């Protein structure tokens, strides 16, 4: 267990925090920040964002009556201080590990986690829903949504603001945690004083009184409102938020714990009487750790590291699928000037750093706006260019209607490079790409490909780029087995699979593994043990129907293997086709079960879901009554 200070050791719950003297809060913030740094250095996890929200977490739990009052952390990767303050300090040793605590808020983990998050821009909608529910039930409760400046770029945040601004009867507070915008000059003593002043009850009473008096003289009332807006505008961008119906305060220094507490106390009172309030705070990613302050991107989600030495360059290893994509994108852009690269705020995660450097005029980061990213690509495709959308599997879910209506329906040549397919490890269910095969293969006009290795990934990206219609290449996080990517820009034959292993002897039961994606290599291991055929199907849509029929007619049983959900997955697509052809076959489907995946290391998760090589072999032997002594010659 990490060593903690005596003061931090006394905080087992928010009530313990509220018993502290206000003068102790700065020291507690220092100790809490040190604890987070040491903890993440041991386990890995999100660091920069969490170092930036220490004072905010303290202030919220100090002022609010949590868990009765609700705090919703948008995205949620900045909630470590919140977790520590709500009884999970010791649990940080198991952060993001199998059977450990989640790296994001999770309702089943704690009553203080009011809403499960990990995708952005959901907080205001959920907070408004909770505030309306409290109002409906006659409960006195404040609901706070903490949202980052990046998350504010998503349309959902503004949809929620538009809805919330007219509800003057609900105690809702939106806190914009701004750690990117260049508004440093507005953060200072004068601004701190002004924010505290205009959030005070005296200011609110005076404002209401003036509104009543000036209502008898509309021109003067309008002039007074303009004057107030101008005064606020001198210290912060109030206009847009007040046009949505919120009372705006800030920006204030998000690391000034006393200013935060004083302002939140005032705004909490106002929310109960005046309705939605908007507080704009300015924080610094990586606050308190020089290396993270200097490079918050590198320290966004590091693996375990040495605090004194910092993150050290790793030894060259096998290319990850993300790196394969990034290299292909640059090579194809050099070969074809029609290529346009698009990402919804995932430049680093999706491997577009080098592409932006080399082809800045063809690089478009649209912000956290997945719906817009898809339709933006559709518009580009309409005019003859070739857009490539680099997006995570679970993030594409957010743009699904646009994928259906704006891309597939119009049969537009948009390439979707889908990263983080299958299990993702420590990030867990919110980021696991379990459903992409199921939600893609049902769409007319879609070409859906599942590379088993780096070389196939590169070839399939080229195939999708040359295809005259929408295409999707889904690949996992990290690196895999098999050959390296190479440098070819050759397309594959569409809808053609390949037999990777044939039965060598004369087993009692002739079994074939039909594989989609990287699970091919797990199946190969099992096939060697039981002497089975292994087929790399490569394409989910269109299927290699002739190969599938041939395998079904020449084997006693088929095992469909994929790293996605079994329900509606690639195996289901094969069985649908065989049923349509009235081909009877004994089959077993191997993949992710009908449940959301947990977080943890991949080997542990494979064991949990029964898809390790050893477990697959046992399941196949049981299903097809193969004796344990059966071996390949």
| Token pair recorded at residue 596 | 């959301």
- DSSP H/E element including 416: strand 415-419
Which segments of the chain belong to CATH 3.40.50.970? 6-294, 321-474
Residue 251's φ and ψ, nearest 5 degrees, are: -75, 150
Catalytic residue among 192, 398, 538, 541: 398
- The torsion defined by the Cα of 295, 300, 304 and 309, in degrees rounded to 10, comes to 10
Q: 3-state class of 339 per DSSP?
A: strand
pLDDT score, position 464: 98
Residue 621 a catalytic site member: no
| Token pair recorded at residue 581 | 């052809």
pTM of the complete model: 0.86
pLDDT score, position 66: 97
pLDDT score, position 230: 47
Catalytic residue among 34, 242, 370, 456: 370
Distance CA 607, CA 603 (A): 6
| Token pair recorded at residue 92 | 């940080």
Measure CA 456 to chain center: 26
The series of mean pLDDT values per 10 residues for the chain, 633 residues long, is 74 95 95 95 94 96 97 93 95 93 93 92 94 94 92 87 91 89 40 52 52 53 51 54 87 93 95 93 93 92 93 82 97 98 93 96 93 96 97 96 97 98 91 96 98 98 98 96 95 97 94 97 97 98 98 97 97 97 96 94 93 96 82 41
Catalytic residue among 285, 420, 474, 509: 285
Angle of CA points 276, 277, 282, to nearest 5°: 145
Distance CA 216, CA 204 (A): 19
pLDDT score, position 225: 54
| Token pair recorded at residue 228 | 């107030």
Which segments of the chain belong to CATH 3.40.50.920? 498-623
Q: How far is CA 265 from CA 64, 135, 359, 508, in A?
A: 8, 21, 49, 76
Instruction: Quote the radius of gyration of the chain (alpha carbons, Å).
Output: 28
Angle of CA points 42, 44, 45, to nearest 5°: 135
Residues 6+ apart with CB under 8 A from 188: none
pLDDT score, position 192: 54
- DSSP H/E element including 508: none
Architecture of domain 321-474: 3-Layer(aba) Sandwich (3.40)
pLDDT score, position 179: 83
DSSP 497: -
- Is 224 exposed, middle or buried (CB count within 10 Å of its CB: 0-12, 13-18, 19+)? middle
Angle of CA points 243, 249, 251, to nearest 5°: 110
Residues 6+ apart with CB under 8 A from 450: 421, 437, 474, 516, 517, 537, 538, 539, 540, 562, 570
pLDDT score, position 193: 44
DSSP 123: H
Architecture of domain 498-623: 3-Layer(aba) Sandwich (3.40)
Angle of CA points 616, 619, 625, to nearest 5°: 135
Pick the CATH number of 6-294 from 3.40.50.1970, 3.20.20.80, 3.40.50.300, 3.40.50.970: 3.40.50.970
- Is 314 exposed, middle or buried (CB count within 10 Å of its CB: 0-12, 13-18, 19+)? exposed
Question: In the chain, what are the helix, strand and coil shares in percent, each to the nearest 5?
Answer: 45, 15, 40
Residue 398 a catalytic site member: yes
pLDDT score, position 236: 46
């Amino acid at each position: 267990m990490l060593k903690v200070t005596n003061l931090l050791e006394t905080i087992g719950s928010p009530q313990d925090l509220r018993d502290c003297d206000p003068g102790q809060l700065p020291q507690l913030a220092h100790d809490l920040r040190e604890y987070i740094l040491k903890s993440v250095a041991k386990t890995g996890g999100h660091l920069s964002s969490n170092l930036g929200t220490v004072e905010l977490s303290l202030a919220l739990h100090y002022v609010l009556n949590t868990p009765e009052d609700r705090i919703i952390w948008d995205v949620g990767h900045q909630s470590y201080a919140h977790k520590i303050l709500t009884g999970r300090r010791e649990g940080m040793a198991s952060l993001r590990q199998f059977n450990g605590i989640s790296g994001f808020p999770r309702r089943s983990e704690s009553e203080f986690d009011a809403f499960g998050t990990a995708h952005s821009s959901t907080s205001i909608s959920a907070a408004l829903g909770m505030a309306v529910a409290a109002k409906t039930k006659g409960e006195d409760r404040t609901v706070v949504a903490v949202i980052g400046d990046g998350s504010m770029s998503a349309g959902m945040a503004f949809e929620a603001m538009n809805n919330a601004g007219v509800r003057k009867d609900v105690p809702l507070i939106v806190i914009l945690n701004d750690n990117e915008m260049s508004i440093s000059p507005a953060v200072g003593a004068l601004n701190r004083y002004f924010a505290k002043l205009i959030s005070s009850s005296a200011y609110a009473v005076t404002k209401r009184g003036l509104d009543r008096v000036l209502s008898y003289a509309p021109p003067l009332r309008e002039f007074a409102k303009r004057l107030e807006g101008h005064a606020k505008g001198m210290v912060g961008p109030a206009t847009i938020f007040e046009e949505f119906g919120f009372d705006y305060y800030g920006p204030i220094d998000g690391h000034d714990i006393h200013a935060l507490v004083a302002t939140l106390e005032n705004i909490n009172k106002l929310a109960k009487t005046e309705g939605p309030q908007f507080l704009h705070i300015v924080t610094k990613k990586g606050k308190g750790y020089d290396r993270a302050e200097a490079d918050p991107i590198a320290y966004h989600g590091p693996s375990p590291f040495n605090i004194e030495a910092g993150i050290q360059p790793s030894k060259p290893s096998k290319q990850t699928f993300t790196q394969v994509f990034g290299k292909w994108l640059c090579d194809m852009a050099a070969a074809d000037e029609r290529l346009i690269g698009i990402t919804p705020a995932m430049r680093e995660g999706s491997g577009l750093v080098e592409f932006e450097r080399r082809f800045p005029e063809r690089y478009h980061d649209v912000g956290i706006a997945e719906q817009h990213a898809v339709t933006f690509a559709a518009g580009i495709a309409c005019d003859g260019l070739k857009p490539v959308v680099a997006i995570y599997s679970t993030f594409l879910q957010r743009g699904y209607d646009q994928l259906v209506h704006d891309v597939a329906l119009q049969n537009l040549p948009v390439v979707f490079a889908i990263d983080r397919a299958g299990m993702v490890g420590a990030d867990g269910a919110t980021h696991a790409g379990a459903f992409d095969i199921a939600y893609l293969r049902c769409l007319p006009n879609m070409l859906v490909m599942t590379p088993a290795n780096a070389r196939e990934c590169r070839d399939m990206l080229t195939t999708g780029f040359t295809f005259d219609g929408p295409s999707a290449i889904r690949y996992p996080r990290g690196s895999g087995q098999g050959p390296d990517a190479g440098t070819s820009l050759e397309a594959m034959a569409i809808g053609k699979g390949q037999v990777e292993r044939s039965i060598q002897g004369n087993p009692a039961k002739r079994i074939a593994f039909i594989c989609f994606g990287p699970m091919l290599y797990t199946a190969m291991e099992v096939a060697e043990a039981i002497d089975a055929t292994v087929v790399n199907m490569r394409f989910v849509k269109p299927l290699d129907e002739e190969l599938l029929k041939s395998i079904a007619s020449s084997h006693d049983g088929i095992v469909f293997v994929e790293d996605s959900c079994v329900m509606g997955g690639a195996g289901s697509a094969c069985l649908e086709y065989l049923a349509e052809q009235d081909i009877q076959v004994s089959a077993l489907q191997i993949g992710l079960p009908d449940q959301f995946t947990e977080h943890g290391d991949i080997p542990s998760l494979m064991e949990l879901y029964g898809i390790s090589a050893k477990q697959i072999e046992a399941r196949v032997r049981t299903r097809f009554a193969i004796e344990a002594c059966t071996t390949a010659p």
